[in-house]
Structure 1
Amino acid sequence: MLAESDDETSSPQQSIMAQKDVITHQVAPHQGPEEGDTREREDTAPTTQPNCKGCKVQKAVVKQLKEEINTLKNKNPFPLRRKYERRNTVQTELPVFEKVLQTWLNHIEGVTYRQNENARQRVTRVRSWLAYMSDGGVPTMDFAFLSDPSKLINWAHSLRNFAVTTQRIYISDVRSFLKFLLEARLDTVRASKKKLKGAIFSLDRLRRKLTSRLVVHKQAVKAKKSKNILDAVHIQTFLEKARRAIPNALVTLEQNPLPQNLYHLFGLLSGFIICLTGHRRGVLLGMEAEEVHAAPKDKNGRRVIMVAKHKTSSKYGHALVPLEKEEYVWFARFLYHRHKYPMGESKLFFANTNGGPFSRLAGTFQECWKEFGLPGKPTFGLIRTSISTYVGRELDYKQKEQVRRLMCHSTAVAEVFYEANQNLTDAFKSRRATATAVQKQTNNPREGREEDEDMHRTPFSLQAEDVCKQPSTSTRPTLVHFGGPGEEDV
């Protein structure tokens, strides 16, 4: 039986070497002429005899110890991971300001992947602001740099290379962070209320200065969108060709479940849904397999996929994806064979090989668009803008509201951010409508003037005859006073 090492705190290599020395003394191999002489055994290597039991035991033990030593030398300090699985970084003590940023991140995080990603981006912007205000050093929690208003102005000036919308986002994120510190009153933050309120006031002033530039920027972006609006014929052509190509893509994927075949099908399905409904990309990224499986249907077999996680879910609830019976069969067929495809164990419908959201949907859609021989390289946002523009031009008010409810945005949002400017035809229609209104007013001038006079008349501008006609509530006669000298009431 092997003896254990007395030092329990020693390293594994030292423990193994100690065991080797003990075994060498306890299980002695074939000795020379003078058995038991340890010093002579150390100076001269023992001769190994084939039939010596001690030699065989020692040889086996030495071999085992060498294998254990090699194992310890080559041992990977990190645990084994699955393919595409991220390694957890070593947890170290974070600086105080990083802990404060983490607290703010927990406060602003949402429920969807996109909301959490936006929250992390906001933290990154505030971190860059802290680095600038601290001259690249570690920010102190007394926020002494806020005592110098010129430094805050210089930081805003350093953002001049960004678009005006990006500048406004940076300023708004920093303001939200300081507002959080003002209201949360964290123990680690030693900045005074006066200092925080002063910084928030300065940020509000900087943000107001961007208002005029922001309006001009929006107009420029809208004019650019107006030039890039997709032809409705191209969108309709893609829908028709995708309807014929999706069943073939499903067969190809079932026969060869390769990533490229999976992504090709994703490009067709995502493009079909976006061109059909005008939804944002986030609706597709948030769509779960269970939501597709549990889609309610009517008596004709039509289904509506109700997506819970998307950008405007807090205001509009579920994003609706209505599908005909034949179209829903594509999704159901994909789910039936889903376990064979290289997408991991993910609850998302459009998932990558790691099980996360497939972020290359737009790229795969553009490849399908090009395969169909259609011009350009449209994005999902451009398709949404084009559809919203067509809706605003062609449908009546009630239909507009229904379609925009399906697209999860309001009429005001559509007019500001999505609908393109008026084209030449619409502009001249508006001109004729304006001229018609002026002509009608010219033909009936007296009616308009009388209405204006009635609106501007007040009790202080009543004529004398109007005042005299008013009934008196007193039995005493009332004289009208016109301001003449010497006239008094009797």
Structure 2
Amino acid sequence: MQVKRDKMEGLPSHNDLMTCLTSTTTRIPQLLDVMACNPTTATRTLLYGYMTLHWSCIYGHRPGVYSNMTNAEVRKADTTGTAFGYLVHVSNHKTANSFGEAQLYLTAEEFGWMKRWLEIKGTLTCTQSRYFLYTEGKNPFRKLAYSLRMAWADVGLHGPINFTDLRTVHADNAMRFQDKGNRQRVSDFMCHNTATADKFYANNPSLKEAADIRLLFTESLQAAAAASTAAGNEDTFAGIDIDSDSSGEEHSPAPYQDSLPRHVPKRDQSLAEHSPSDMGEERVPYSAPTSPTVASDQLVNMQCVVVISPLVNTLYPV
């Protein structure tokens, strides 16, 4: 992750890419003129560097898309193109199984450079290669990274450069400045899988992104504090006696175990005073008759008063 972070910090800037696009528009026609009258390997290598630099500053394709582009694919685009532009389809590239053909949309001026190069190739020897960026033999040109660095230096820019750097710039710009749908369209066009990039971005936020994430932490803390305050207010309201009358007078507290309700008759209070102890004495008042029948009737007439206390619920037999 540290290596990746260092790489992100060393990516070319937006101004660098705009400078390249301005220079390629001027230099590619000049190099084509040189190849038409005095072709050399060095000039051809520099021309390849400028062409691929121009395409990469726009789309960020892998170099395999350029090296595997065939003459037939370019000519096919010529037959289907219009004044609105030309679309080149490249079938053979690294991620063709996942994304299908790679595309390059080119303006009439940009495609005119390619048409002229096809014409120049027809006048050169050792051009039996079927690839657009030919080399001596039948294989595609494999030194595009070197050609890119030559063009980069010829533009007047310093520092290392490769196709992956230019590709990463486009992927990063799409992530930061496009909505989700447009970002996916850009990624699909450049045959880029965003899964790895998303994992990297999640673990390596920029300074501003880290500041925004800190704000999320603060907002979560404030929301938790607000929720706690709201819960405390609910507990306070729950403790209010909703049965109190409108006059606002306070009711007397409920009696404890040792107290009896105010509405218990005096006769029942005297009976309660002579209640049996915890040792199992009979619940018979001192004046209890000795007759079994009378005693039974009196037990039937005994009353039970429920006293509700805030702390203890007690049954007082009377």
Q: TM-score, normalised by structure 1?
A: 0.44
Gaps of 5+ in 1: 1-218, 449-490
Task: Encode CA deviations 1:212-249: one digit per residue, 9 max, x unaligned.
Answer: xxxxxxx2332232222221211121111111111111
Distance change in 2, residues 1:324/1:348 (3 Å): same
Cα contact 1:279–1:407 (8 A) shared by 2: yes
How large is the RMSD of aligned CA atoms in angstroms?
2.4
1:230 is the counterpart of 2:12: yes
Cα contact 1:303–1:322 (8 A) shared by 2: yes
Distance in structure 1 (CA, Å) of the matches to 2:177 and 2:35: 39
- Letter matched to residue 186 of structure 2: V
Structure with bigger gyration radius: 2
Which of these residues, 303, 318, 321, is aligned with residue 86 of structure 2? 303
Cα contact 2:89–2:101 (8 A) shared by 1: yes
Distance in structure 1 (CA, Å) of the matches to 2:202 and 2:118: 36
Structure 2 residue matching 1:321: 3-state secondary structure: strand
- Letter matched to residue 410 of structure 1: N
Higher helix proportion: 1
Identify the residue that residue 239 of structure 1 maps to in structure 2: 21
Task: Encode CA deviations 1:453-479: one digit per residue, 9 max, x unaligned.
Answer: xxxxxxxxxxxxxxxxxxxxxxxxxxx
1:368 is the counterpart of 2:151: yes
Identify the residue that residue 279 of structure 2 maps to in structure 1: none
Distance change in 2, residues 1:290/1:439 (3 Å): farther
- Letter matched to residue 23 of structure 2: K
Identity of aligned residues (%): 27
Distance change in 2, residues 1:419/1:388 (3 Å): farther
State the Cα distance separating 1:342 from its structure 2 match.
4.9
State the Cα distance separating 1:410 from its structure 2 match.
2.3
State the Cα distance separating 1:308 from its structure 2 match.
0.2
Distance in structure 2 (CA, Å) of the matches to 1:238 and 1:418: 27
Structure 1 residue matching 2:4: 3-state secondary structure: helix
Identify the residue that residue 436 of structure 1 maps to in structure 2: 219
Distance change in 2, residues 1:336/1:301 (3 Å): farther
Distance in structure 1 (CA, Å) of the matches to 2:68 and 2:203: 28
Cα contact 1:389–1:418 (8 A) shared by 2: no
Higher RCO, Cα 8 Å, sep 6+: 2
State the Cα distance separating 1:438 from its structure 2 match.
4.0
Which of these residues, 54, 59, 62, is aligned with residue 272 of structure 1? 54
Question: How many correspondences in the alignment?
Answer: 230
- Letter matched to residue 286 of structure 1: N
Which of these residues, 335, 357, 370, is aligned with residue 118 of structure 2? 335
Distance in structure 2 (CA, Å) of the matches to 1:370 and 1:431: 42
Distance in structure 1 (CA, Å) of the matches to 2:25 and 2:145: 18
Structure 1 residue matching 2:122: 3-state secondary structure: helix
For residues 115-134 of structure 1, the aligned pairs below 5 Å read none
Cα contact 1:348–1:357 (8 A) shared by 2: yes
Distance change in 2, residues 1:233/1:342 (3 Å): farther
Identify the residue that residue 94 of structure 1 maps to in structure 2: none
Task: Encode CA deviations 1:122-164: one digit per residue, 9 max, x unaligned.
Answer: xxxxxxxxxxxxxxxxxxxxxxxxxxxxxxxxxxxxxxxxxxx
Structure 2 residue matching 1:261: 3-state secondary structure: helix
State the Cα distance separating 1:341 from its structure 2 match.
3.1
Task: Encode CA deviations 1:53-96: one digit per residue, 9 max, x unaligned.
Answer: xxxxxxxxxxxxxxxxxxxxxxxxxxxxxxxxxxxxxxxxxxxx
1:422 is the counterpart of 2:205: yes
Identify the residue that residue 250 of structure 1 maps to in structure 2: 32
- Letter matched to residue 269 of structure 1: M
Cα contact 1:302–1:324 (8 A) shared by 2: yes
Moved over 6 A (4+): 417-420
State the Cα distance separating 1:419 from its structure 2 match.
9.6
Distance change in 2, residues 1:400/1:434 (3 Å): farther
State the Cα distance separating 1:257 from its structure 2 match.
1.9
- Letter matched to residue 389 of structure 1: D
Identify the residue that residue 407 of structure 1 maps to in structure 2: 190
Distance in structure 1 (CA, Å) of the matches to 2:188 and 2:120: 33
Distance in structure 1 (CA, Å) of the matches to 2:199 and 2:102: 21
Task: Encode CA deviations 1:349-407: one digit per residue, 9 max, x unaligned.
Answer: 11212232111111111111111111212011111112211221111111110110011
Task: Encode CA deviations 1:1-24: one digit per residue, 9 max, x unaligned.
Answer: xxxxxxxxxxxxxxxxxxxxxxxx
Q: TM-score, normalised by structure 2?
A: 0.66
Cα contact 2:81–2:87 (8 A) shared by 1: no
Structure 1 residue matching 2:157: 3-state secondary structure: coil
Distance in structure 2 (CA, Å) of the matches to 1:341 and 1:310: 27
- Letter matched to residue 308 of structure 1: S
State the Cα distance separating 1:434 from its structure 2 match.
3.6
Which of these residues, 114, 118, 129, is aligned with residue 346 of structure 1? 129
Cα contact 1:226–1:421 (8 A) shared by 2: no
State the Cα distance separating 1:313 from its structure 2 match.
0.4
Task: Encode CA deviations 1:191-232: one digit per residue, 9 max, x unaligned.
Answer: xxxxxxxxxxxxxxxxxxxxxxxxxxxx23322322222212
- Letter matched to residue 383 of structure 1: L
Which of these residues, 164, 175, 179, is aligned with residue 396 of structure 1? 179
